[in-house]
């Protein structure tokens, strides 16, 4: 895991986080982490987007989590998938399946149904798909 300090990405991330926070003012941000690695592609509704080799994850005190992916297209557009951490399914000791109920963008939250599979980034190479 690597802490990422790019000012342009942090500014975009802050804007996306503020959209989410404005929709739940009582929510408190517990943590923000970033993970670097190799992102082969980001697939949304069957379309593959090139993506940056890092992702960010947030966790709030009400259990809501967000996965932030940065696309190589559209000047680094951030796509955020959000769901309730309490609904995670344990696949194995080090992997989880997270139900996703929203996508956060500059206009707010769009309700969706989906899932994101991820592994513990602290034990070695990370495999994730959304």
Domain range spanning residue 75? 7-118
Any domain includes 128: no
Q: How far apart are CA 123 and CA 61, in angstroms?
A: 25
pLDDT given at position 21: 46
Q: Across the strands, what pairs with 59?
A: 31, 65
pLDDT given at position 116: 86
pLDDT given at position 9: 43
pLDDT given at position 11: 41
Any domain includes 126: no
Any domain includes 123: no
Any domain includes 68: yes
Any domain includes 96: yes
pLDDT given at position 1: 37
Measured at the CA of 48, the angle between CA 105 and CA 116, to 5 degrees, comes to 60
Any domain includes 11: yes
Any domain includes 130: no
Please give the tally of structural domains in the chain. Answer: 1
Phi/psi zone of residue 70: left (φ > 0), alpha (ψ -120 to 50 degrees), beta?
A: beta
The one-digit pLDDT tens for each residue of the chain (130 residues) are 333 434 344 444 444 444 444 455 688 999 998 888 777 777 777 888 788 888 888 999 999 999 998 877 666 678 899 999 999 999 998 888 999 999 987 778 899 998 888 877 677 655 555 5
Any domain includes 34: yes
């Amino acid at each position: 895991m690597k802490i990422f300090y790019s000012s342009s990405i942090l500014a975009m991330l802050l804007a996306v986080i503020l959209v989410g926070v404005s929709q739940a003012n009582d929510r408190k941000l517990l943590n923000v982490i970033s993970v670097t690695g190799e992102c082969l592609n980001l697939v949304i509704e069957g379309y593959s987007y090139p993506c940056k080799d890092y992702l960010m994850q947030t966790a709030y005190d009400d259990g809501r989590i967000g996965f932030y992916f940065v696309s190589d297209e559209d000047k680094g557009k951030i796509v955020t998938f959000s769901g309730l951490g309490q609904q995670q399914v344990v696949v194995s000791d080090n992997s989880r399946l997270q139900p996703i109920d929203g996508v956060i963008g500059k206009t707010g939250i769009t309700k969706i149904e989906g899932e994101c599979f991820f592994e513990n980034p602290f034990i070695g190479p990370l495999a994730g798909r959304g």
